[in-house]
Amino acid sequence: MTEERHKMSAQVLKSIATGKENPSALLKTVAKDAGIGSVKSFFESQKEVIRAMLPKHVSPDRMLRIGLGAIRQNPKLLDCTIESLFGGLVLCSQFGLEPNTPMGHCYLIPFSTNKRLPNGKTEKVTEVQFIAGYRGLIDLSRRSGQIESISARVVYSNDEFELEYGTVDEIRHKPAYKDRGEVIGYYAVAKLKGGGKQFEFMPQEEIEQVRDGSQNASKDEWVDGRKTGNKIRQESSPWWKNPTEMGKKTVVRRLFKYLPTSIEMANAIGVDEKADSSGSQDLGEVLTGEYQVVSQYEEEHIDKTTGEITNTKSPKDPDIDFDAIKKSIEEAKTPKEINISMQKVIQSNLNQEHKDALIDLSNERLSLLS
């Protein structure tokens, strides 16, 4: 199946190069087969899509550089399709979090799974998965405007640690200065604006239960199209590469259930929890439906030997009616319908004021439907 997929991908690239295939076919191509040059060209052609999603303090050029850097740092991401990679980058942009950086805001990692085909057979695929980091969750929490500060700590066996619940909830923690021993738990503390504190503690055993139940940490083993009941460790998962950071994130995520949060905060937690429960986040769905590639790939800009896109040329912006597209956004019943409308807005020749108004409306509707 893998060999057949690679042959098909090569055929797609050649047909794109000769103008016999719709450019959007490139999205379904495995990034490794397309080449990093084609991935980079496609990402850059979608800069306006990224710009529309990002908070104003983050530039699309920076997000694109970071996204490509993540791929270079983890070459296994090239086993994913281009649309899955771009879907992950769009999700990071919506939350305003930079992936796979030392800041630990979030991570884009390859997730291998078996998908059942319409004929009943299964095929092994690799998808991009978005994993929130605890610093990313903290950053999102501050944007709610109702949290003054939030922190997460690790408790070791040789630390002085006291936890008390009752009429007065309290934590006392004095870290050992030298040999701190083994990790025995994590806690997070939030200070609310206007006064008040909230904290949550999780012993190491509970953290490990969350880890062991996460499809992101260990995937199901499949043999002959059936699950064996065994688990295979996902070595690329931050659960194994950054266990302390993931422990902090887990207790912070639980603490958020008792805090005032923003809509984007709730959405980020929802996506993150989906990675734990089902593994697949279907990030390729960002580009499904009537999605149109922003830049048209011209024959003279493609290496006909390798199929690599070396340059792009933007098409003429289509005319759209402001009132009609506004109505379609207001009446949209799914995030997919809104994303389709947003692509049309971004590609249109509407003035910037109208574009901004429609993008703001789209983001509001996406928040309500998520």
Question: pLDDT above 90 covers what percent of the chain?
Answer: 21
Tokens standing for 320?
């759209």
* Whether the Cβ atoms of residue 72 and residue 79 lie closer than 8 Å to each other: no
- Does a structural domain hold residue 364? yes
Specify the DSSP class assigned to residue 52. Answer: H
Is 334's pLDDT higher than 90? no
* pLDDT confidence of residue 351: 74
Confidence of residue 175 (pLDDT cuts 50, 70, 90): very high
Q: What pLDDT shows up at residue 187?
A: 97
Q: What is the mean pLDDT of the chain?
A: 77
**Alpha-carbon gap, residue 197 to 147, rounded angstroms:** 10
Average pLDDT over residues 18-29: 56
Q: How confident is the model at residue 230 (pLDDT cuts 50, 70, 90)?
A: confident
Is the confidence at residue 180, as pLDDT, over 90? yes
- Say if 229 falls within a structural domain: no
Question: Lowest mean pLDDT: which of 66-70, 186-190, 248-252, 324-328?
Answer: 324-328
Q: Does 253 fall in a domain? A: no
Tens of pLDDT, residue by residue over 55-77, are 877 889 999 999 999 998 888 99
CA angle 119, 124, 130 (to 5 degrees): 120
Residue 309: per-residue pLDDT? 39
Mind giving me the DSSP string for 274-328? Answer: HHHHTS---GGGGG-SS---SSB--GGGB-TTT--B---BPPPPPP--HHHHHHH
Per-residue pLDDT averaged across 212-216, rounded?
A: 81
Q: What is the mean pLDDT of residues 44-51?
A: 86
pLDDT recorded at residue 225: 67
Whether residue 47 has pLDDT greater than 90 = no
Q: According to the model, what pLDDT value does residue 14 have?
A: 39
- Give tens-digit pLDDT for 125-145: 888 889 888 888 888 888 877
Q: Is pLDDT larger for residue 20 or for residue 176?
A: 176
Query: Tokens 């904290």 — which residue?
Result: 199
In which band, very low, low, confident or very high, does the pLDDT at 229 lie, cut at 50, 70 and 90? confident
What is the number of structural domains in the chain?
1
pLDDT, average across residues 315-321: 55
Q: Which two tokens stand for residue 215?
A: 């499809």
Pairing mode, if any, of strands 122-132 and 106-116? antiparallel
Higher pLDDT, 10 or 75: 75
Kindly give, in sequence order, each residue whose CB lies less than 8 Å from that of residue 224, ignoring residues fewer than 6 positions away.
none
Dist CA 194 CA 119 (whole Å): 59
**Stretch among 68-82, 102-116, 196-210, 337-351 having the lowest mean pLDDT:** 337-351
Closest CA to 109 of 84, 130, 78, 133: 130
**pLDDT on residue 293:** 40
Q: Which domain holds residue 364?
A: 317-369
Non-local CB neighbours of 122 within 8 Å, separated by 6+ positions? 114, 115, 116, 222, 225
Whether 352 is covered by a domain: the verdict is yes
- The DSSP-derived string for 126-188 is EEEEEEE-HHHHHHHHHTTSSEEEEEEEEEETTSEEEEE-SSS-EEEEE--SS---SEEEEEE
Say what the pLDDT of residue 319 is.
Answer: 61
Residue 66: predicted pLDDT: 92
Q: What is the pLDDT of residue 64?
A: 92
11 — pLDDT class (breaks 50, 70, 90) = very low
H or E segment to which residue 125 belongs: strand 122-132
In a domain, 156, yes or no: no
Q: For the residues 334-356, what does the mean pLDDT come to?
A: 72
- Tell me the one-letter amino acid at 79: D
Residue with tokens 């979608």, as numbered in its chain = 46
pLDDT surpasses 50 at 299: no
Q: Is residue 23, in this structure, part of any structural domain at all?
A: no
Is 255 within a domain?
Answer: no
Whether residue 141 contacts residue 261, with contact meaning beta carbons closer than 8 Å, is answered with yes
**270 lies in a domain?**
no
User: What is the mean pLDDT of the segment spanning 218-228?
Assistant: 73
Q: How confident is the model at residue 274 (pLDDT cuts 50, 70, 90)?
A: confident
Q: Higher pLDDT residue, 222 or 313? A: 222
